[in-house]
């Protein structure tokens, strides 16, 4: 078990990022005419680790792209799930090229886009066209809107159709007790298990736990449909539980990392830090350092 002293000793100043550049299908990071951003060999030091530590773009909702990338460089994190406040859904080729140039200069890979809410079929089409222009193979999305209480199967059917047409995977994001639609991993599993295998979930381990579900158990149960993971620690397994720095809440991160390795997870594990969206930087740095210390010793 990594205690706070171990964390402080091993994290922020010098802990290597424990990644090997594979996506969820064991391939190298997105290729060629989409301005591939290569990883540096200095970040590929762990023989037994196959997942990437990244950042969920929503963490930086209050900050521009330059601030986001500069901070990611400071904490040695090189994978980003792209949010549309940094790159609009209607971005043209020139805007996308400029965006990619900034990521490349910062040595960051934009591995996915989202979460994107899709209220109707037209929104689904727009999201997939966006992902194609950006050049990613994964969309994190919600096939419905915040106030929905039941899945919209017309929208979900369209998502499946676009997955088949484009070969872009789609990970439904869960929101725990804050949203009736897709509150936990099981609710997503029930709607995707008999669909195209490229339709899966983004497992937000904090929200899943706040709904009362066991995130480590659900990672084991549903691993083949877990395409993305949002790292989050929380104070209680209830709606009242709130986000907190990793290692200060109730999630057993050594057990979580052990399960990642047991199921052979090869996607991204991205911190979505929501404790203080106006001033998140110290909390992000602490959380990233703690998680790196766990992966070093787990």
Condensed to tens digits (0 to 9), the pLDDT of residues 202-212 reads 999 999 999 99
CATH number at residue 122: 3.20.20.150
pLDDT at 34: 32
pLDDT at 156: 96
Q: What is the 3-state secondary structure (H, E, C) of the chain?
A: CCCHHHHHHHCCCCCCCECCCCCCCCCCCCCHHHCCCCCCHHHECCCCCCCEEEEEHHHHCCCCHHHHHHHHHHCCCCEEEECCCCCCCCCCHHHHHHHHHHHHHCCCEEEEEEEEECCCHHHHHHHHHHHHHHCCCEEEEECCCCCCCCCCHHHHHHHHHHHHHHCCEEEEECCHHHCCCCCCHHHHHHHHCCCCCCEEEEEEHHHHHHCCCCHHHHHHHHHHHEEEEEECEECCCCCCCCEECCCCCCCCHHHHHHHHHHHCCCCEEEECCCCCCCCCHHHHHHHHHHHHHHHHHC
Profile the chain (298 residues) by mean pLDDT over runs of 10 residues.
Answer: 44 36 31 30 38 96 98 97 98 97 97 96 98 98 85 94 98 94 96 98 97 97 98 96 96 96 95 95 97 84
Phi, psi values for residue 55, rounded to 5°: -125, 135
Q: What's the total number of domains in the chain? A: 1
Q: Residue 247: give the domain boundaries.
A: 4-13+20-37+44-297
């Amino acid at each position: 078990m990594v205690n706070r002293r171990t964390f402080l000793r091993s994290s922020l100043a010098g802990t290597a990022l424990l990644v090997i550049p594979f996506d969820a299908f064991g391939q190298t990071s997105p290729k060629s005419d989409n301005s591939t951003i290569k990883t540096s060999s200095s970040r590929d030091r762990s023989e037994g680790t196959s997942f990437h530590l990244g950042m969920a773009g929503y963490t930086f909702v209050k900050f521009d792209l330059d601030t986001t990338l500069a901070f990611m460089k400071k904490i040695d994190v090189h994978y980003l799930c792209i949010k549309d406040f940094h790159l609009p859904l209607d971005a043209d080729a020139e805007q996308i090229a400029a965006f990619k140039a900034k990521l490349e200069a910062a040595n960051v890979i934009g591995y996915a886009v989202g979460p994107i809410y899709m209220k109707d079929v037209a929104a689904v089409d727009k999201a997939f066209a966006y992902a194609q222009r950006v050049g990613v193979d994964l969309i994190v999305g919600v096939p419905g809107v915040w106030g929905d209480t039941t899945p919209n199967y017309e929208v979900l059917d369209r998502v499946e159709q676009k997955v088949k047409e484009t070969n872009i995977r789609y990970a439904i994001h869960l929101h725990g007790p804050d949203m009736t639609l897709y509150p936990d991993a099981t609710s997503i599993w029930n709607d995707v298990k008999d669909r195209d295998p490229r339709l899966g979930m983004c497992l937000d381990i904090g929200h899943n736990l706040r709904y009362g579900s066991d995130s480590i158990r659900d990672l084991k149960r549903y691993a083949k449909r877990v395409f993305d993971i949002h790292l989050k620690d929380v104070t209680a397994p209830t709606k009242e539980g709130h986000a907190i720095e990793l290692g200060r809440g109730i999630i057993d991160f050594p057990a979580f990392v052990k399960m990642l390795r047991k199921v052979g997870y090869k996607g991204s594990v991205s911190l979505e830090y929501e404790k203080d969206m106006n001033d998140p930087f110290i909390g992000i740095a602490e959380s990233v350092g703690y998680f790196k210390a766990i992966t070093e010793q787990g």
